[in-house]
Amino acid sequence: MGFAGAMVVAMAVDALLGWPAWLFARIGHPVTWLGGLIAAIDNAWNRASEPPALRRAAGIAGALAVIALSVAVGWALQSLLPSGWVQIVLIGILAWPLVALRSLHDHVAAVATPLLAGDVAAARDAVSRIVGRDPASLDDAGIARAAIESLAENASDGIVAPVFWGALFGLPGILGYKAINTLDSMIGHRSERHEAFGWAAARIDDVANFIPARLTGFLFVLLAPQRSEALACMTCDARRHRSPNAGWPEAAMAGGLGVRLSGPRIYHGSITNEPWLNEGARDPRAADITEALTVYRRAMLLVAGVLAILAFA
């Protein structure tokens, strides 16, 4: 239960400070360090001249190596810390950069503010920083939809999932999870280059996020303005999503706000026909981003409160 207390510390520090720009400029960020390692392995081991079976085997080896190294670093750091309350606080401080609580809120709020003011160009620019779809193709509803989807999905894999694994296993758990999530973000794509090499990264990420995604969905159900609609939409539509996990928080948020999410979108000039979540509902507006942020804040407070009870009761 001490690890639960450490995650409360990590969430509190991140909520207060985020990851300051001056600190990023000086030392980067643990995720960028992981990204550098993954990029180096991708460049060295993912050879287009090799057959798919060998590229898949190389991807498995590379993913396991990154995860094992991250867990080992977490275990080594944790083993050096003194016991008791000092250990809880220090683990929380070391875990702080791995909890994107404030960053996610600020990035989504940066979309809502100009969209509420009618500045569509600024809202497109802001949303392009958090999603991969073509911003020029997005109207007001598309911008709002993209921001809400990003908030819902990243609440799960950016906060709930790392905190979940950190509460269970401390620094090895949270560092191991961030390695898994970063691997998936960088190489877990169904592209020509990564279809085989990134296969293991995508599958491992699916497993690691299975429980946290569903927990996040139920958090949104509990705290959404329309709870029964959120539960109905989550249970009916979550499995329609292309991801086995992201559909749970996104569908819960769609039902809870009374809007439709997902649906067709444009990536690199090509239309991707994704199914709708809460299809019969209206399109989201700028005010719905603000409402989604309120649900998000309440959910994160509830997570911190439950962890505090587990740690200190």
**pLDDT tens string 199-210:** 999 999 999 999
Using 50, 70 and 90 to split pLDDT, how confident is the model at 269?
Answer: low
Please report where in the chains the tokens 């804040």 appear, as a residue: 297
* Residue-wise burial string across 129-168, b where 16 or more C-beta atoms lie within 10 A, e elsewhere: ebbebbbeebebbbbbbbbbbbbbbbbbbbbbbbbbbbbe
Sign of the C-alpha dihedral computed for residues 75, 78, 84 and 89 taken in this order: negative
Using 50, 70 and 90 to split pLDDT, how confident is the model at 1?
Answer: low
Whether residue 96 has pLDDT greater than 80? yes
Q: Mean pLDDT, the chain, as a whole number?
A: 95
Tell me the HSE value of 156 on the side-chain side, using a 13 A CA sphere. 31
Phi, psi of 87 (to 5 degrees): -60, -45
Beta carbons within 8 Å of 244's beta carbon, 6+ residues apart: 206, 210
Please count the other Cβ atoms lying within 10 Å of the Cβ belonging to residue 43.
Answer: 9
> Which pLDDT does position 294 carry in this prediction?
98
Integer angstrom CA distances of residue 301 from 17, 92, 133, 223, 297: 16, 16, 30, 11, 6
Kindly calculate the radius of gyration of the chain based on its CA atoms and give it in whole angstroms: 19
> Which pLDDT does position 268 carry in this prediction?
63
Whether residue 289 has pLDDT greater than 80? yes
Question: How is residue 174 written in tokens?
Answer: 């949270």
> Which pLDDT does position 237 carry in this prediction?
96
> Which pLDDT does position 62 carry in this prediction?
98
> Which pLDDT does position 120 carry in this prediction?
95
112 neighbors 293 (Cβ within 8 angstroms)? yes
> Which pLDDT does position 267 carry in this prediction?
67
Whether residue 49 has pLDDT greater than 80? yes
Q: Rounded to an integer, what distance in angstroms lies between the CA atom of residue 270 and that of residue 262?
A: 16
Integer angstrom CA distances of residue 157 from 51, 87, 196, 207, 264: 32, 25, 23, 12, 23
Q: pLDDT tens digit string along 150-209?
A: 999 999 999 999 999 999 999 999 999 999 999 999 999 888 999 999 999 999 999 999
141 neighbors 284 (Cβ within 8 angstroms)? yes
Q: Rounded to an integer, what distance in angstroms lies between the CA atom of residue 223 and that of residue 87?
A: 33
Q: Rounded to an integer, what distance in angstroms lies between the CA atom of residue 68 and that of residue 74?
A: 10
Whether residue 296 has pLDDT greater than 70? yes
Whether residue 89 has pLDDT greater than 80? yes
Whether residue 266 has pLDDT greater than 90? no
> Which pLDDT does position 60 carry in this prediction?
98
Whether residue 270 has pLDDT greater than 70? no
